[in-house]
């Protein structure tokens, strides 16, 4: 029996939850993560060492880690943020380790592969691009917001909070990491999201070569937080898109996508 191949495209906690759920099934998983993060520890490392932002890569590697006896400890270790210390405060240890591996290997993609071996990753983790690029949002009033973090944080200020985004683009343009194009073309199913449309999903699709590869893939599944209204749902369905409804969240201190619920639906689609 040929093993099914699933490619998960995205970034942030949504992609992490999908990967955690899928890892329990006998399928080949490839994670393609966004490389436009500009804030926090990732943003600081980008500026100081001129490397790709490691945060989303770190999450994907941890999600697919297959060291059951040490997984919880490793997760705490890689996600640990220094609370004090000149130059260290705010940094994630996992991000620092990826930065160190990049300097040791000389290339970000080799650093990711080496980290994957250390963590005994089940599957593959790829950067969507090796090009250094930034996300820019153009608001409906013509104003531009530079950087993924600033786009996210606009909701917390009064200046741009109520002004809709007209479009987003990458500056400079970026081309796809070669291995992801073949992974997408050979996939049984491509999962996009869940995550923020403008900062986690679209940045991957803006990379040259990704949409071209998706156009030749067998099937694509897009996860979004929710449909905000029935007209939106109707527009999507009229475009020939099949809508799968359901509750995919888990309730706790924070609302998160439930890994088991997401994975169960994805596996069901693979069997159709």
- The rounded distance, in Å, linking the Cα atoms of 127 and 180 is 8
Whether residue 89 is found in the same domain as residue 58: yes
Instruction: Write out pLDDT tens, residues 65-123.
Output: 988 766 678 888 888 888 877 778 888 899 999 999 999 999 999 999 999 999 999 99
Q: Does 34 share its domain with 96? A: yes
Instruction: Give tens-digit pLDDT for 252-265.
Output: 777 788 899 999 99
pLDDT tens for each residue of the chain, 272 residues long = 568 999 999 998 889 999 999 999 999 999 999 999 887 788 889 888 889 999 999 999 999 998 876 667 888 888 888 887 777 888 889 999 999 999 999 999 999 999 999 999 999 999 999 999 999 999 999 999 999 888 887 766 656 667 888 999 999 999 999 999 999 999 999 999 888 888 899 999 999 999 999 988 767 776 655 444 444 445 555 556 677 767 777 777 777 888 999 999 999 988 87
The total of structural domains in the chain comes to 2
Are 149 and 17 within one domain?
no
Q: What DSSP string describes 101-136?
A: HHHHHSSHHHHHHHHHHHTTBSSEEEESBSS--EEE
Sheet with 189-192, strands from edge to edge, namely: 124-127, 28-33, 5-10, 189-192, 220-222
CA 120 vs CA 113, 125, 174: distances in Å: 10, 12, 30
Bond into 172 cis (ω within 30): yes
3-class secondary structure, 216: coil
Burial degree of 55 (CB within 10 A; 0-12, 13-18, 19+): buried
Start-end of H helices in the chain: 12-22, 40-49, 55-64, 71-79, 93-105, 108-118, 148-153, 178-185, 202-205, 210-214, 230-238, 259-271
Instruction: Provide the whole-model pTM.
Output: 0.88
Q: How many residues in the chain?
A: 272
Residues 140 and 255 in one domain: no
Among 171, 198, 230, give the residue marking a domain's end: 171
Residues 6+ apart with CB under 8 A from 96: 41, 45
Question: Is residue 247 located within the same domain as residue 116?
Answer: yes
Range of the domain at 146: 134-171
Which pLDDT belongs to residue 240? 61
Looking at the fold, whether 119 and 218 belong to one and the same domain comes out as yes
Nearest in space to 65 (alpha carbons), one of 11, 17, 19, 14: 19
Q: Give the side-chain half-sphere CA count within 13 A for 131.
A: 18
**Do 24 and 94 have their domain in common?**
yes
Same domain, 52 and 187: yes
């Amino acid at each position: 029996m040929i093993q099914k191949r699933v490619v998960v495209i995205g970034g942030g906690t949504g992609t992490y939850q999908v990967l955690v759920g899928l890892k329990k099934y006998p399928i080949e998983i490839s994670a393609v993560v966004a490389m436009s993060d500009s804030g926090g520890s990732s943003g600081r490392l980008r500026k100081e060492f001129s490397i790709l932002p490691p945060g989303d890569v770190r999450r994907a590697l941890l999600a697919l880690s297959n060291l059951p006896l040490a997984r919880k400890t490793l997760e705490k270790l890689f996600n640990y943020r220094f609370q004090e210390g000149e130059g260290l405060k705010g940094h994630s240890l996992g991000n620092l380790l990826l930065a160190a591996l990049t300097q040791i290997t000389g290339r970000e993609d080799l650093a990711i592969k080496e980290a994957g071996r250390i963590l005994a990753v089940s599957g593959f983790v790829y950067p969507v691009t090796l090009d250094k690029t930034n996300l820019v949002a153009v608001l409906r009033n013509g104003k531009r917001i530079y950087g993924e973090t600033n786009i996210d944080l606009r909701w917390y200020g009064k200046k741009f909070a109520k002004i809709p985004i007209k479009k987003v683009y990458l500056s400079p343009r970026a081309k796809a990491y070669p291995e992801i194009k073949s992974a997408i073309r050979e996939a049984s199913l491509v999962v996009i999201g869940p995550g923020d449309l403008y900062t986690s999903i679209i940045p991957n699709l803006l990379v040259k070569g990704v949409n071209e590869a998706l156009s030749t893939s067998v099937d694509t599944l897009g996860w979004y937080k929710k449909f905000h209204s029935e007209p939106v749902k109707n527009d999507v369905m009229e475009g020939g898109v099949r809508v799968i409804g359901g509750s995919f969240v888990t309730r706790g201190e924070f609302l998160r996508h439930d890994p088991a619920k997401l994975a169960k639906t994805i596996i069901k689609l693979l069997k159709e």
